[in-house]
Amino acid sequence: MQALSELTSMRVGGVPASITRCSTREELITAAKSIWATGENWMVLGGGTNCVFGADISSLHVLKVETTGIEKQVLQAKQVWKIPAGVDWDELVAEAVSEGLAGIEGMSGIPGTCGAAPVQNIGAYGQELSDVFLRAEFLDYESGELVILEPKDLKFGYRDSAIKRGRAGIITWIELELIDLEGLSRPLYSGQIAGALNSQMGEHVKLTDLRDAVLKLRAAKGMVLDPNDPNSVSCGSFFTNPIVSDSFARTISSDAPRWETQEDDGLTVKLSAAWLIEQAGIGKDFSLPGSHAAISSKHALAIVNKGGATGEQIAELARFIQERVAAKFGINLVPEPNLIGFRN
Ligand SMILES: Cc1cc2nc3c(=O)[nH]c(=O)nc-3n(C[C@H](O)[C@H](O)[C@H](O)COP(=O)(O)OP(=O)(O)OC[C@H]3O[C@@H](n4cnc5c(N)ncnc54)[C@H](O)[C@@H]3O)c2cc1C
């Protein structure tokens, strides 16, 4: 059997109790129900790009989702696509862009599967999955039933959803609404992308230009999976950008990059986790003595496996960063990837 290091972008993790590859929805449902009936530990794995495995996985049963085959419904000036969970996210974006459909172009280059996309409400450069998400089919672990989840059930937040917060089960397909703007993108909502395209915020640009610009920017940060880039042996950003109260944000140096956000409890401010990490004295390429885990040489927010790292070394570096940032700023950085099989 394969080790999970071969099925994950961080390339850590040993051999689990079992790996069941499911290439149809029916196989996935049957395999899940039969593992659930045993009461043993289980998890569902897509592309393995947001999981870090520790040493304690020998009793874990892994359901690997490999379902494909998009169904497209053409409506006036928009299309509704029903996408099996195993479809590769960036292949989906490429297909939407090539068909002139807007809504997910800013999320070009995010690795992983479509079934995992709602789990942390993936997002980049001003777009989030929740902007286009209609519903998903979900095999619910508690009831054993198939249910349809709508946005209100998933309670999407910034890199967050009800599933990420613990609702157990498996997404079998998702349904997204894509709009036809005659080859143009949604209005630009990212200063970085607008700058790269010599455009203004709010402008519509050619979908293909936007996709190219995003992929270029991401590659410069080591944020696309590239076998030739050692910085992409990672889970992308290791921490979410912390959201703090407006009054707390005023206590942080005015040089700190910040974005105002509106939460239920009033005005809040999103700070840059990368900036906080660098200001806490942890720069690019940093690693602890004797460890094979390091900060990416392209982006302070990514932890990379330099070759031969263990999950524990990745977690140790993450804890060190959290302690440094907490000591300097009083902010607890929250890891974005899922840490599985760690003893504490
Ligand atoms: C280089 C790089 C760049 C990245 N950039 C971004 C970015 O810009 N924005 C962003 O949001 N993320 C980013 N990520 C993180 C990652 O790509 C996303 O979280 C992605 O959605 C993970 O997909 P996956 O299939 O690999 O999930 P996995 O790692 O396989 O699983 C992640 C979690 O989802 C659960 N899961 C997987 N499939 C299902 C399913 N069908 N039903 C229920 N639960 C499921 C798993 O159990 C696990 O808890 C990046 C990662 C890398 C390596």
Residue-wise pLDDT tens digits, 18-30: 999 999 999 999 9
Contacts of 44 (CB under 8 A, 6+ apart): 32, 62, 63, 65, 115, 170
The verdict on whether 11 is a catalytic residue reads: no
Are residues 202 and 253 located together in one domain of the fold?
A: no
From the CA of 317, how far away is ligand 1's center (Å)?
Answer: 21
Are residues 174 and 237 located together in one domain of the fold?
A: no
Q: Which CATH number covers residue 35?
A: 3.30.43.10
From the CA of 76, how far away is ligand 1's center (Å)?
Answer: 32
Pull the structure tokens for residue 35: 């593992």
The verdict on whether 159 is a catalytic residue reads: yes
Which atom of ligand 1 approaches the CA of 107 most closely? 8
Predicted TM-score (pTM) of the model is 0.96
Pull the structure tokens for residue 17: 């109790």
Beta bridge partners of 180: 101
Are residues 38 and 79 located together in one domain of the fold?
A: no
**CA nearest ligand 1 atom 10, residue:** 122
Task: Give, to the nearest 10 degrees, the angle between helix 89-98 and helix 207-220.
Answer: 150
Are residues 289 and 334 located together in one domain of the fold?
A: yes
Query: Which among 17, 35, 65 is the end of a domain?
Result: 65
**CA nearest ligand 1 atom 24, residue:** 112
**Dist CA 63 CA 33 (whole Å):** 11
What mean pLDDT is reported for the chain? 96
In a domain, 150, yes or no: yes
Pull the structure tokens for residue 124: 């980049």
| Best of 93, 104, 105, 119 for a ligand 1 pocket test (most atoms within 8 Å of beta carbon) | 119
Which entry of 130, 185, 237, 287 is annotated as an active-site residue?
237
From the CA of 195, how far away is ligand 1's center (Å)?
Answer: 28
Are residues 188 and 99 located together in one domain of the fold?
A: yes
| Best of 6, 7, 49, 140 for a ligand 1 pocket test (most atoms within 8 Å of beta carbon) | 49
**Dist CA 122 CA 130 (whole Å):** 8
Q: 241 and 271 in contact (C-beta within 8 Å)?
A: yes
pLDDT digits (tens, 9 = 90+) for 83-138: 999 999 999 999 999 999 999 999 999 999 999 999 999 999 999 999 999 999 99
Are residues 180 and 111 located together in one domain of the fold?
A: yes
pLDDT at 267: 87
- The range of the structural domain enclosing residue 21 comes to 4-65
* Structural domain count, the chain: 3
Beta bridge partners of 189: none
Q: Which CATH number covers residue 239?
A: 3.90.78.10
The verdict on whether 247 is a catalytic residue reads: no
Tens-binned pLDDT, residue by residue, of the chain (344 aa): 899 999 999 999 999 999 999 999 999 999 999 999 999 999 999 999 999 999 899 999 999 999 999 999 999 899 999 999 999 999 999 999 999 999 999 999 999 999 999 999 999 999 999 999 999 999 999 999 999 999 999 999 999 999 999 999 999 999 999 999 999 999 998 999 999 999 999 999 999 999 999 999 999 999 999 999 999 999 999 999 999 999 999 999 889 999 888 776 778 999 999 999 999 999 999 999 999 999 999 999 999 999 999 999 999 999 999 999 999 999 999 999 999 999 86
pLDDT at 1: 87
Q: 124 and 229 in contact (C-beta within 8 Å)?
A: no
Of 210, 234, 238, 220, nearest to 93 by C-alpha is 210
Which entry of 159, 186, 211, 218 is annotated as an active-site residue?
159
Q: If 0-12 CB within 10 Å is exposed, 13-18 middle and 19+ buried, where does residue 237 land?
A: buried
Are residues 192 and 127 located together in one domain of the fold?
A: yes
pLDDT at 261: 83
**Dist CA 42 CA 46 (whole Å):** 13
Q: 149 and 138 in contact (C-beta within 8 Å)?
A: yes
For 334, which DSSP code? P
Protein residues with CB under 6 Å of any ligand 1 atom: 9, 43-51, 65, 85, 110-113, 115-117, 119-120, 122-124, 159, 163, 170-171, 223, 225, 232, 234-236, 338
In a domain, 298, yes or no: yes
